[in-house]
């Protein structure tokens, strides 16, 4: 057995920080998420708005970490290049999931649902609030395309910067904008001792949410 396998098999963490019961949960999963997110902020979790976005390309699941940038009318929002790999995957299959992990709190939240594109006005509004460097990056980068080198990428950035020199308001690229996940499933996971974790799920039933407990 290799050293890394020995190390992996011996890694153990006891989850003792909290518990979770159905009767402690808000009937509205969005409000429950907001409570946990606020606690993640207060606990100084690294990048508490980071989540694993899982999509499907054909029959191949794919995942990457992106950042939550808002919750609006029940939609969980993030922004990307629509021509990126994840953008194309969402266009082909709007069903996807988000997974948040807040290790200091020993908590995880899974959200499943269906994506919809944000309006041009909403995407414009967020783009204007981004730092100039981030705006230029969105303009310059052919996201997910193969590129010759780091130097070639930096040259694209310099070209975009020069093209917009002196401009105080940069235009949002047509291929860049937001997606919003409309949830139909939430799972709130609280780590517990002896791997007997608490798992509370919300499943959409028309306009209502059914709440139940899952075995760990």
**DSSP SS3 for 50:** strand
* Cα-trace Rg, the chain: 20
Half-sphere exposure of 172 (CA within 13 A, CB side): 21
Asked if 40 contacts 211 with a C-beta cutoff of 8 angstroms, the reply is no
195 is catalytic: yes
Query: Of residues 195, 199, 204, 213, which has the active-site annotation?
Result: 195
Cα separation, 204 vs 216, in Å, equals 21
Asked if 170 contacts 164 with a C-beta cutoff of 8 angstroms, the reply is yes
Cα separation, 57 vs 113, in Å, equals 16
Which residues have a catalytic role annotated? 195
């Amino acid at each position: 057995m290799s050293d890394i396998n020995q190390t992996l098999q011996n890694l153990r963490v006891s989850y003792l920080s909290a518990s979770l019961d159905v009767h402690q949960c808000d009937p509205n999963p969005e409000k429950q998420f907001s409570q946990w997110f606020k606690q993640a902020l207060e606990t100084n979790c690294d990048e508490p708005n980071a989540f694993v976005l899982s999509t499907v390309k054909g029959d191949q699941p794919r995942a990457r970490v992106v950042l939550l940038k808002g919750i609006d009318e029940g939609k969980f929002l993030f922004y990307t290049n629509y021509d990126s790999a994840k953008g194309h995957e969402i266009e082909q299959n709007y069903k996807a999931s988000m997974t948040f992990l807040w290790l200091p709190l020993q908590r995880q939240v899974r959200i499943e649902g269906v994506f919809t594109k944000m309006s041009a006005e909403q995407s414009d509004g967020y783009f204007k609030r981004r730092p100039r460097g981030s705006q230029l990056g969105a303009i310059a980068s052919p996201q997910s395309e193969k590129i010759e080198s780091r130097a070639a990428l930096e040259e694209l950035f310099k070209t975009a910067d020069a093209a917009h020199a002196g401009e105080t308001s940069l235009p949002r690229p047509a291929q860049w904008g937001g997606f919003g996940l409309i949830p139909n499933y939430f799972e709130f996971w609280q780590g517990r001792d002896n791997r007997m974790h608490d798992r509370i799920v919300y499943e959409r039933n028309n306009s209502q949410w059914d709440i139940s407990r899952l075995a760990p």
